[in-house]
Amino acid sequence: MTKPPKVIEPAEIVPVTGASAPAAPAVIPADVEAAMQRLRIASMSPNTRAAQLSDWATFTRWCDRVEQVPLPASPELVSWFLTEKSAELRPDGRPAFASSTLTRWVSTINKVHSLAGHPKPGQASAVREILRGIARTRATPPARREPLLTDDVRIIVDAMRDRSATGTWPERVAERRDSALLLFGLTGAMRRSELAGLLVSDVRPHRADGLYVTIRQSKTDQAAAGRTVTLPYGSSPATCPVCAYWRWREVVDTWDEAGRAGAAALLSGPDDGHVEHRCRGVAGSPDTAARPLFRSVHRTGGLGATALSGQAVASMIQRRAVQAGYAEEFVTMLGGHSLRAGFVTQAVRNAASAEQIMTQTGHTDQRMIALYSRQHAGLHGNAVTSLGL
């Protein structure tokens, strides 16, 4: 076996020269260089950075196995990598890696090469054709989460409250949190990551409108420009997001100030606070501390110190839907996105315009609204209803 080529480290990379020699590199002070590194790290979310590191590790491990140099990589090497990976299967016979995963790997490979001063191999037509070929051979409809409509959320919330009314105080703690999560997610059209990332200081009461909730960063807002959504007062106290917020906020404040003893005393008796409105005239005090709003709730009633994960939000939705009596086939199609999808679908069904919907969702393309409409509100605005069948 021939000796594999020497792996070129970034420090050994020689920049490509043009007609004139490049200027000598500037001598940067250590503190400035450290600050530059911090800013480069902050240019993307922690999840994106972790994904890119994982992607690059996948490629370099494969290169080690086939005894090739990962940097710089030729388009032919990347095409070889994609072809092999696309052929890997799971035990059930399905592809081990989705087409979107393979596309993301190529994006990461391109980024690493660009940072090292090399041409991006993934931009070659050969690599793009490989990706298109993989996508065409796997052309299947994307799996989409089922939406939870207003009636669905009402049924689930009512079931939770009936269950906790005769339960223990830790069950009442969990009910208050989950009611607020469900109603925030539906009325605010929030993604699960946006719900999980909320701080108490992100919620500002408004006497006339309800709650102004600042979403500081989201999946499509990597620059963290942020946006604000308004959660209105509900006509029914059972589904009023503002009432649900104050019921949960009362638990959070009590726990942070008085711990387990305070929370137990607060909820030791029957909790009928959802029977009548408790949101009118509540101003609340400004909160500048970085306190997570939605936290884990232990089976003993204790609140965690850190924010819920997005997966925990999705798991809660499925668990609560099961408890409310929904069929298993339906529950398996639910997830964290079901609340955001429910907002769009319900709004379309209630004849809201695309512009009105996008005000709350933050979408910038009406085609996404049309997609929800075709999937879950197919008769809205459809001429088929005029056929006189």
pLDDT tens for residues 245-285?
999 999 999 999 999 999 999 998 877 767 788 787 666 66
For residue range 127-138, list pLDDT tens digits in order.
Answer: 999 999 998 887
143 in a domain, yes or no?
no
Single-letter code of the amino acid located at 129: E
Helices and strands in the chain, H and E counts: 14, 5
Number of domains in the chain: 2
Q: Which letter, b or e, does each residue of 226-238 get, where b requires 16 or more Cβ atoms within 10 Å of its Cβ?
A: ebebebebbeebb
Specify the CATH number for the domain of residue 53.
Answer: 1.10.150.130
314 and 206, same domain (yes or no): yes
- Choosing from 93, 113, 137, the residue where a domain stops is 137
Can you give the residue range of the structural domain that contains 114?
41-137
Stated pTM of the model: 0.69
Nearest by Cα to 263 from 248, 251, 245, 271: 251
188 and 230, same domain (yes or no): yes
What is the rounded CA–CA span in Å between residue 175 and residue 155? 13
pLDDT (0 to 100) of residue 259: 93
Higher pLDDT, 75 or 374: 75
- Tokens representing 85? 């990976």
Helix/strand/coil for 97: coil
pLDDT (0 to 100) of residue 141: 60
- Choosing from 79, 112, 137, the residue where a domain stops is 137
